[in-house]
Chains A and B, each alone.
Chain A
Amino acid sequence: DSGVTQTPKHLITATGQRVTLRCSPRSGDLSVYWYQQSLDQGLQFLIQYYNGEERAKGNILERFSAQQFPDLHSELNLSSLELGDSALYFCASSVGVTGGDETQYFGPGTRLLVL
């Protein structure tokens, strides 16, 4: 158990819909990362938040957005869903202190199926 929790574990929805994935980082971690794992693209970095602020952006679609709240949990919002958005979405957290150990610990993931 990494200490990172993600809900829900599974999500089935229809094209055009909007969903929210939730992540709670390990206690004390300030950084949260989101990754997408799909069969055709592999594991890809989407976005990073640090202490409530966006820190880095990767291959995240404009239909996707994220935020980190004052209690440090994060949400990834996926809208206008398409079949190709079906994937496993991981959240990871790290301490986030400059010069510190930036090892990322991953949650169990949310499996999204868009029908």
Chain B
Amino acid sequence: AQSVTQPDIHITVSEGASLELRCNYSYGATPYLFWYVQSPGQGLQLLLKYFSGDTLVQGIKGFEAEFKRSQSSFNLRKPSVHWSDAAEYFCAVARGSNDYKLSFGAGTTVTVRA
């Protein structure tokens, strides 16, 4: 069965420190990969996506993610975290090939301390 795993339920990071959120998936082929962010009481905002090509993708708000086929991973990174990055982050995967419904990980809540 297809699955998306975000191993870290909660991460606390100091403002200005780097952040890495992990995402692993189990799909047969190279799926379409996404990271979304949800601020408290808000909807889901797309941070970045990977369909094909360069395995390092840049997104909004200074985020980037790297697709590693050998590890079935799509980890999200930010070099220097701002207090406004406190939110819940979701990794999502679509099979592709006319199947674009998203399977989501359980989410990682990021707390930023001053």
Contacts and interface: CB of A to CB of B under 8 A. Distances in A.
Interface string B40-55: 0011111001010000
B104 A2 contact: no
A42 B101 contact: no
A90 B101 contact: no
Interface stretch (B16-24, B70-78, B79-87, B92-100): B92-100
A79 interface: no
Contacts of A43: 90, 92, 102, 104, 107
Given A103-B46, A108-B43, A42 B34 contact: no
Contact of B102 (A45, A98, A107, A108): A45
A107 B45 CA distance: 9
A42 B32 CA distance: 20
B36 interface: yes
Most A CB contacts (10 A, CB to CB) among B98, B101, B103, B105 go to B101
A31 B101 CA distance: 11
A80 to B, nearest CB: 25
B46 A105 contact: yes
| Chain A interface residue number, banded | 20 to 34
B34 A103 contact: yes
Interface in A89-114: 90, 92, 94, 98, 101-109
Most B CB contacts (10 A, CB to CB) among A42, A90, A104, A105 go to A104
B112 interface: no
B13 interface: no
Interface string A28-63: 000101010000001111001000000010100000
Nearest to B94: A102
Given A42-B106, A109-B43, 9 more contacts: A2-B45, A33-B101, A42-B104, A43-B102, A45-B101, A90-B44, A92-B102, A103-B49, A104-B46
